[in-house]
Chains A and B, each alone.
Chain A
Amino acid sequence: MNGVLTLVLLLAPDPPADPAEEWRVLFGQYAAAEKGFFAPYYEAKSDEEREKVRLDYERHPAREFVPKAKAFAESAKGTEAALDALLWLVRAAPQTGSTAEVGPAIDAILAGHAGSPKLEEFASYLRYAHSMLGRGAAVNALETLVRKSPHDVVRAAATLSLAATYAEADRATEADRKRARALLDTILEKYGETKYATQAKGLINEIEFLQIGKVAPDFEATDVDGKTFKLSDYRGQVVVLDFWGFW
């Protein structure tokens, strides 16, 4: 009897017995390979040495891992671990050039996991995905999230990404900006307690005031000597404002 049961279990490879564990091992192997790939850079002892390091991104292990992650997501379909694999496929695409995988991965995420609380970061990331996906597909995905997610933060993140996708499009029209503005007002109204409300205010400021032809909003700043100044102190001069940093 026991022998028969064992045999049945052995003959049933799908779904994996413990998908979370299987993904942990699989992803662990990838993470180790990635660490190895960057090792020459991290082992360099000085800026000069680091500058000499040439990494061949054609050989970045993410490329090889794409089909494995894809196969795993399929075999463990519906599980939390499959969601992790799908999210990885979306995030890795710009690096691996596997942009063809992004659309199907997003479809699978929305079809099987739209209620997951893990999708907050994904919703924020979609703000930048329209260049890869096309604006229509990005908008569809974000609207689905707003409709289906039971989590305030996920809906707030998706609404903000949706507004940004409209407002920051290459050829944003007045209608796009209006649509974005309405979405941002929704964030302030419904999700005022989330960090997305702060971001919404920034975007509203940009839509309303940071357009060519409008007077720049004033700000007060402190310079490196600890002296405060205002942008408006510079009226009467042509001003270049350069937001920069090396970090």
Chain B
Amino acid sequence: MKILDKIMLIDRRWIYLAIGLAVIIPAIWSFEVPVTVSPEVKRIYDFVDQLEQNDYIFVAVDYDPSSLAELNPMTEAIINQAFAKNLKVVIVTLAQFGPGMVEEITSRLAANHQKIRGVDYCFLGYRPYPAITILAMGVDFRVPFPADYYGTPLDSLPVMQGIKNFGDVKGVIDLTAGNTADFWLIYGNGRYGFPLAIGITGVMSADYYQYLQSGQLFGIIPGVKGAAEYEDLVGFPGRGMEQMAYQVIAHSVIILFIIMSNVAYFATRTKKDKMGGGAL
């Protein structure tokens, strides 16, 4: 068997090995990747940046640990920006494994920025049924969440004084790895009309660009690249920037494999056509 035929029928374990090495190499020899900020990411940064001190921003952390690598960096960048600008942050999670992650992120970032729970920010907690929870929060945050995640009644929290529902927040940013973005679009933006932006995994990005043009979303942070762009804008380099090195190497390897596969395909096809046979 010639080398091109071997390439056509390469064992998938060689591909796995190449991808494995592609993600191990940057862990040993890390390098910085230059980031070009895209307009859809810049719009979210600008939106948060133009808010006044003590304005309210609502952040929904709707993902499980499986998507943590992509979405945690953007969650941290947004909360970092909000805390640095002294905004009041209201956080919710509509993902069942979300509370643990939110608790870890908020308590760590709040300590870094000397923010006090219940005074500068509020973590509402988790409720099932995203559509119902979003619709109910549009009536009053106290309907689905009479108390915050830690069991403190919302009315006794200084941060929740004078704030009733989405009408009192400047905008909502949903960080999601599933279809909760659809619920926020339909039942949140559609019903209550608040400005909405989303942070999503890379594979989801093609599904949501349509809402950008229609004006239902004012911005999108797509995947690790979007997170790195946001970190670059905020000035808090974190895991997003670090992960760009892994992403560049892994994507390069996949692209190389695709090119190699097509070269082998055309070369063997031409040969088999001459011999009167079909291509693989």
The answer on A and B forming one complex is no
Residues of B within 8 A of A (CB): none
Residues of A within 8 A of B (CB): none
